[in-house]
Structure 1
Amino acid sequence: MTGPIRVALVSYRSQPFSGGQGVYVSALARALVQQGVAVDVISGPPYPNLDEGIQLIRLPSLDLYQHGLRSLRWHHLASLSHIIEWFSKLTGGFAEPYTFGRRLKRYIKRHKPHYDLIHDNQSLCYALLDLRAMGYPVVATIHHPITSDLRLALSAEPSWWRRVLLRRWHSFLGMQIAVARQLPKIMTVSESARKDIEREFGVRSERLVVTGIGADTGVFQPLATIQKDPNRIMLTASSDTALKGVVFGIEAFAILRQSYPELRLRLVGSLRADGDAQCAIDRHGLAPWIDFEKHLSQDRLVHYYNEATVFLSSSLYEGFGLPVAEAMASGTAVVATDGGALPEVVGDAGLIVPTAHPQALADAVAVLLHDSELRHGFEQKGRARIERLFSWSACAQRTIAEYEASLSHANR
């Protein structure tokens, strides 16, 4: 091959403000370009924020989770993908990964772009198999198997009819499992996620490789101009689902305020009005002591990481745990659960407690609030650990190695 590898990085949605998957698209694209790969990003809405020089190809959808079912107009009926999307949402389903695949296949067939390889970001849509049949080498990244989300959501839901709706919403999993089993190479972000994908999706171990994920240590770093607020802890909620365990973080905060009455929580993300976390806030009367933030700029997020004395992750499961890595890179001591890959990320540079255990979370945060020597040690060790193990540059290098291996195999 002469010239740079030309890659289409495709993602059915690329939310830039929260969640590891959306951050992954923009950060990996930047790191790949810095190492000489030519990258186009093909995405459905919400679209990623990309560096200048990286082409974004938009594949518009109805984006019903933003605009609602009443946004349908007569001209939308000319598109079967729109119709599928709308009826799926009407009946409690989530068709975006499937309909994104339809639009992606249509775009590729119409424009015939010259890509050496297509890299899917967890849409795992049937169209990927069609693109392989058209001659495009295809690899995919799975951040974690969504079967984990479904299992935890079902266990937390007492209502039988809501459990039916949960199964309906997650019905796209059948497609994702079938496609994942047929792709020759699956990349993932942690050893924990690799084992879970092998077990829950039935993907053979020789097809799985850990390429990792990273925190941008040039952006997420200690800022000399910002002092730690001794009465400030921080928690993020990329989604208010059982998987993220936000309610346990709220309960831990309620326990902490009994001993630290001036303590405040900065919660980055949105909560459901009828969700367990919001109910816990209301039950304990915590609203005046919580600062809610969402849709933050990167600069503001870095500021808040630096301001917090302790960052708390109460997730029941994480395929990686990007906010924890960002907090560590920013020089903030962390307390995290042992859910999924979080112990892999934190290592010996923070405190790990059992999942679903508010008292253990509160006790660990209290230790760090009280012991400044231990806390300062974790601030330094955490930053060093992320620099050493979880940079985007290293992630891009491992990803490029898998691109080259896939292309070598395809050219045999």
Structure 2
Amino acid sequence: MDGAVAEIGRLSGASPETEGETLALRPRRVLLSGYRSHPHVGGQGVYLRELAIGLRDLGHHVTIASGPPYPDVPEGVNLVEFPSLNLFEESNAFMALRWKHLLSKADRSEWLAHNTGAFGELKAFAYRLRDWISRHGGDFDVIHDNQTLATPFIDIQRQIPVVATIHHPVAIDREFAVDGAQKRVDKWLTRRWYGFTDMQARTVRALPHLLAVSDAARTSHAEHYGMADGKAVVAFNGIDHAVFCPDETVKRQSRLIAATASADVPIKGLDVLMTAFVALARHDRDVRLEMIGQLRDGPAKALLEKHRLMDRVTARSGVTREVIADLYRRANVVVCPARFEGFGFPAAEAMACGAPVIASDGGALPEVVGEAGRIVPAGDAAALEIAIRSVFNEPELASDMSRAGAERARNVFCWRNHALAASALYEKAIGAC
């Protein structure tokens, strides 16, 4: 910032109610929080890191508070670690409780939830953070939480202003998971596991200052969590344009499909992609698929094995962003088949690399892709097959999509603008106290 005050003008990618708004912004002491922040998997760590950089570059003093796994911490940003019980790594989680854990409400909560079939990391992290804030809250002007949305944040809000980012309501995942469970006991266990979504709904309704990464993220929270419609401010995520950018020296490989797959669950649409891939491979011996992620045992892998196509599919996990960008530059087409996305980093990053992108109409994907790519109905494998074939067989179409996607990504997805939108919310939150 220039001195202590900056002016925020029109926010690219922001919602109509923030466009054109002018607000004085001051350097603030910001605590970013995330219950887990893996730097490469799931996007949570990526979000915290890139937002921290954007806020730091605006002149804010930024600290990240995170449970494990911890994020990559940018230069000039502090990290406060909140170790968990890490019960998923224990061979016998029930026997992991120690006398010292009985003294901690967070440890008791995490152990009890885990050993009764619930997911308790979010609430346990929020308990730890609340206790820490009771001692260190005076060091910060505002807390910005990345969709932990645990009820202890309602108590924290009484001590220090809280802003929360909302991506997509996990209640949608719960619905898909419950519908996919075959046995009554499995449905009950699934509901138990996803019980934290009711807690997140209460927190979303209680917190007054929310930042949504898309209009779909905002409207879906209103629909599934009872959040007041229009309560959240919308600002698109950014992407790292130094990593995700075109490279004219890299030649695109004919009939190579690229996709990401964090899990073989219905909401991610991997089954749709594989069904389309099988149909394409039936008549095209050259079509191949490279995936970022693990191809675990499940419906998608079973389908490939049934049709003897495993040798045409490559799956890699734990790779760097540079490796992902290289795949997007080599791919003939990048497919994003999810039935719902709160934003859709792969689509934005692939477009930034100049890849033709085909996405479903699930959630925010049409917002992200805009007119630069092809949109097909979520869950429609036949429509996806036709769209992929058209990109394969029409080089001029693929070239137009590549050019339009790179231009859109460059103009729309900017972390500085996201950080500016967050900063405007900080001023409103602080001013409301």
- Counterparts of 1:45 and 1:75, CA distance in 2: 22
The code of the aligned residue for 1:125 comes to: A
Structure-1 residue corresponding to 2:21: none
Residues 1:46 and 2:69 are matched in the alignment:
yes
Structure 1 residue runs without a partner (length 5+) = none
Indicate which of 225, 231, 254 corresponds to 1:207: 231
* Deviations 1:97-144 (CA, angstroms, capped at 9, x unpaired): 10001111122223345111001111111221111222x001111101
* Deviations 1:49-98 (CA, angstroms, capped at 9, x unpaired): 12122111110112233445448263663444233323322222100110
Structure-1 residue corresponding to 2:119: 94
Q: TM-score, normalised by structure 2?
A: 0.90
Structure-1 residue corresponding to 2:255: 231
- Counterparts of 1:322 and 1:10, CA distance in 2: 20
Alpha carbons of 1:55 and 1:266: their partners in 2 closer, same or farther (altered >3 Å)? same
Indicate which of 288, 300, 304 corresponds to 2:327: 304
Structure-2 residue corresponding to 1:168: 192
Q: What is the deviation of 1:32?
A: 1.3
- Counterparts of 1:310 and 1:66, CA distance in 2: 37
Indicate which of 45, 48, 59 corresponds to 1:36: 59
Structure 2 residue runs without a partner (length 5+) = 6-25
- Counterparts of 2:87 and 2:395, CA distance in 1: 48
Structure-1 residue corresponding to 2:311: 288
Contact 2:361–2:376, Cα closer than 8 Å, also in 1: yes
The secondary structure found in structure 2 opposite 1:225 is: coil
Structure-1 residue corresponding to 2:148: 123
Alpha carbons of 1:380 and 1:152: their partners in 2 closer, same or farther (altered >3 Å)? same
1:65-76 equivalent positions in 2, closer than 5 A: 65-70=88-93, 72=96, 74=98
Contact 1:338–1:352, Cα closer than 8 Å, also in 2: yes
Alpha carbons of 1:238 and 1:223: their partners in 2 closer, same or farther (altered >3 Å)? same
Structure-2 residue corresponding to 1:143: 167
Alpha carbons of 1:407 and 1:350: their partners in 2 closer, same or farther (altered >3 Å)? same
Q: What is the deviation of 1:269?
A: 1.2
The code of the aligned residue for 1:90 comes to: N
Structure-1 residue corresponding to 2:369: 346
1:236-385 equivalent positions in 2, closer than 5 A: 236-273=260-297, 275-385=298-408
* Deviations 1:290-342 (CA, angstroms, capped at 9, x unpaired): 11110111111111111111101110000111111000011100111110111
Residues 1:105 and 2:138 are matched in the alignment:
no
The code of the aligned residue for 1:302 comes to: A
- Counterparts of 2:97 and 2:345, CA distance in 1: 38
Q: TM-score, normalised by structure 1?
A: 0.94
Structure-2 residue corresponding to 1:220: 244
Alpha carbons of 1:182 and 1:73: their partners in 2 closer, same or farther (altered >3 Å)? closer
Alpha carbons of 1:112 and 1:195: their partners in 2 closer, same or farther (altered >3 Å)? closer
Give RMSD over aligned pairs.
1.8
The secondary structure found in structure 1 opposite 2:139 is: coil
Structure-2 residue corresponding to 1:24: 47
Length, aligned pairs only: 408
Bigger shift: 153-162 or 40-49?
Answer: 153-162
The secondary structure found in structure 2 opposite 1:158 is: coil
Q: What is the deviation of 1:231?
A: 3.2
Residues 1:81 and 2:130 are matched in the alignment:
no
- Counterparts of 2:154 and 2:108, CA distance in 1: 23
* Deviations 1:209-230 (CA, angstroms, capped at 9, x unpaired): 1122122222200123321111
- Counterparts of 1:393 and 1:166, CA distance in 2: 39
Contact 1:69–1:90, Cα closer than 8 Å, also in 2: no
- Counterparts of 1:48 and 1:69, CA distance in 2: 27
Contact 1:313–1:335, Cα closer than 8 Å, also in 2: yes
